[in-house]
Amino acid sequence: MTLYVFYSIFFVLLPGDLANAIRNRTNLVFGLYHSMFEWFHPLFLEDKQNGFKTRLFPDMKTLPELKEIVETYKPSVVFSDGDWDAPDTYWNSTGFLAWLYNESPVKDTVVVNDRWGTGMECHHGGYYTCGDRYNPGHLLTHKWENCFTIDKHSWGFLRTSNVDDYLTIQEILGQVIITVSTGGNVLINVGPTSYGKIAPIYEERLRQMGAWLKVNGEGIYSSIPWKYQNDTTNPHIWYTSSKDNQTVYASLLVWPNNTTEILLGAPVSSSNTTVTLLGSNVGPLNWRSASESGGIIIDVSNIEAYSLASDWAWIFKLQNITPKQINK
């Protein structure tokens, strides 16, 4: 799973300075967003008036610009956008991608999305975005990405937004957990001000997410989807698995108020099953089988709410379990 924050105005810093800082001072990879068209560029408007039978804009502006940013900044991700008015033949997307994968300086490392012409989304690309805020809620066979904004309405910064216009940390973590459980990457956008400042509410959300990942990152980073994504009984539980399939992580989105037991319908326990809560110092939790056919009931009576390291979502670490057989 890849989790990264996207700044919708990436010219706040010179891209070269930003790329060098990321490569030299972090273990992150550097990617760039690129809009294929400009709404009011005279060459684009002329091509549009001609029914996109002329290619003045892509030949003189878009394609040379794309090659320049790849050769200059050597991004590991090229996020293409703004393709929806015209087909890929107008943009010569296949020509650019052939160069990118065969001749460019990043030909062995670069990844691209699916926005390269009308009708391309969810059909062609290194990973699918399928439109903004795409979260199907089920496992896909092709790699995909959930691109969403902390501001519910805008990819930029709106001075008129109020607190209800921003996603809560619970909503953000819900998107992250469900996306990772179903095999997707997460792209989270924040819009800086015209002065390059990050508004306090964005900073708060990012710090909250960082604090949560510090406790629960084991169930997110380097995880893979399990046989079940959403639990068969508890709709608030989503699963991931370690790559060696030895550990299953059950993410709980809503902590129960009126019970000290949490029912999981999908796991089948064994005599060696252990259950712990990430970030808790209580140790192994008591549990019992829910039925002969499977499922476990976790006893959380020893956990005091005030002692929880996570305030918004909680991950149980399950070892020595198998998935319930899926009836076909």
- Spell out the domain ranges in the chain: 15-219, 225-323
Q: Is the pLDDT of residue 9 over 60?
A: no
Q: How many helices and strands (H and E) does the chain possess? A: 8, 15
Please state which architecture CATH assigns to domain 15-219: Alpha-Beta Barrel (3.20)
CB neighbour list of residue 144: distance below 8 Å, 6 or more residues apart: 127, 128, 129, 130, 134, 136, 183, 184, 185
On the 0-12 / 13-18 / 19+ scale of CB atoms within 10 A, 214 is exposed
Higher pLDDT, residue 24 or 174: 174
Q: What is the pLDDT of residues 216-254, one digit of tens each?
A: 999 999 899 999 999 999 999 999 999 999 999 999 999
- Average pLDDT on 22-39 reads 90
pLDDT of res. 49:
97
For residue 165, give the DSSP letter: G
Rounded Cα gap, residues 129 and 85, in angstroms: 17
Rounded Cα gap, residues 62 and 65, in angstroms: 5
Q: How confident is the model at residue 327 (pLDDT cuts 50, 70, 90)?
A: low
pLDDT of res. 28:
87
Q: Is the pLDDT of residue 7 over 50?
A: no
Q: Is the pLDDT of residue 141 over 80?
A: yes
Q: Is the pLDDT of residue 125 over 60?
A: yes
Q: What is the pLDDT of residues 74-94, one digit of tens each?
A: 999 999 999 999 999 999 999
Topology of domain 225-323 in CATH is Immunoglobulin-like (2.60.40)
Higher pLDDT, residue 11 or 234: 234
Q: How confident is the model at residue 129 (pLDDT cuts 50, 70, 90)?
A: very high
Q: How confident is the model at residue 14 (pLDDT cuts 50, 70, 90)?
A: low
Element (H, E) at 215: helix 200-216
HSE-CB for 207 with a 13 A CA cutoff: 7
Contact 119, 152 (CB under 8 A): no
* Whether the domain at 15-219 and the domain at 225-323 fall into the same CATH topology: no
Best mean pLDDT range from 11-15, 28-32, 133-137, 309-313: 133-137
pLDDT of res. 3:
52
pLDDT of res. 307:
82
Mean pLDDT for the chain?
A: 92
Q: What is the pLDDT of residues 277-317, one digit of tens each?
A: 999 989 999 999 999 889 999 999 998 877 888 889 999 99
Q: What is the pLDDT of residues 168-220, one digit of tens each?
A: 999 999 999 999 999 999 999 999 998 889 999 999 999 999 999 999 999 99
- Average pLDDT on 55-83 reads 95
